[in-house]
């Protein structure tokens, strides 16, 4: 667990599986937590944020850090990979692009000079050299 989160949980009045409780000391219902979180976001001027957004953002961040779909599902509680794949598509694209560019960069360092290709004029892939002798009469 993230150390800062663990300290907060340890200092909070919660049970074994309940980390966030209502003002009455009871676990939130799903809708109750969503409404409570929405109100806190509105109070903070974060009208574009939502409890659902936390789950999606956490999924994307874990994907950027290289977590597998199953690891992400273990944290978020998803039961199938369908939503995880959808949530993490952009993050995975960033990771894949960064990996590809790192490989390309490493390849360029290893091969400091790219070999020059010789044109094969007989195949029609290049222009014939301008031969001044053939132009003379």
What pLDDT, in 10s, does the model give residues 35-85? 999 999 999 999 999 888 988 999 999 999 989 999 999 999 999 999 999
pLDDT at 123 over 90: no
Instruction: Decide: pTM greater than 0.85.
Output: no
DSSP 57-110: HHHHHHHHTT--HHHHHHHH--SSHHHHHHHHHHHHHHHHHHHHHHHHHHHHHH
The pLDDT-based confidence of 134 (bands split at 50, 70, 90) is low
Q: Tell me the domain boundaries of the chain.
A: 1-49, 52-108
Confirm if 73 and 82 have CB atoms less than 8 A apart. no
The pLDDT-based confidence of 135 (bands split at 50, 70, 90) is low
pLDDT at 13 over 80: no
For residue range 75-116, what is the model confidence (pLDDT) as tens digits? Answer: 999 999 999 999 899 988 998 899 999 999 887 766 665 566
Confirm if 41 and 47 have CB atoms less than 8 A apart. yes
């Amino acid at each position: 667990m993230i150390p800062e989160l663990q300290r907060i949980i340890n200092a909070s009045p919660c049970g074994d599986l309940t980390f966030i409780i209502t003002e009455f000391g009871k676990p939130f219902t799903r809708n109750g937590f969503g409404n409570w979180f929405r109100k806190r976001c509105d109070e903070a001027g974060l009208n574009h944020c939502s409890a659902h957004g936390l789950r999606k953002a956490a999924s994307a961040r874990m994907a950027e850090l290289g977590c597998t779909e199953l690891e992400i599902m273990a944290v978020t509680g998803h039961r199938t990979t369908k939503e995880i794949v959808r949530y993490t598509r952009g993050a995975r694209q960033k990771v894949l692009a960064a990996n590809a560019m790192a490989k390309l960069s490493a390849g360029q360092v290893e091969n400091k000079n790219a070999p020059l290709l010789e044109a094969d004029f007989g195949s029609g892939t290049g222009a014939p050299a301008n031969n001044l002798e053939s132009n003379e009469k």
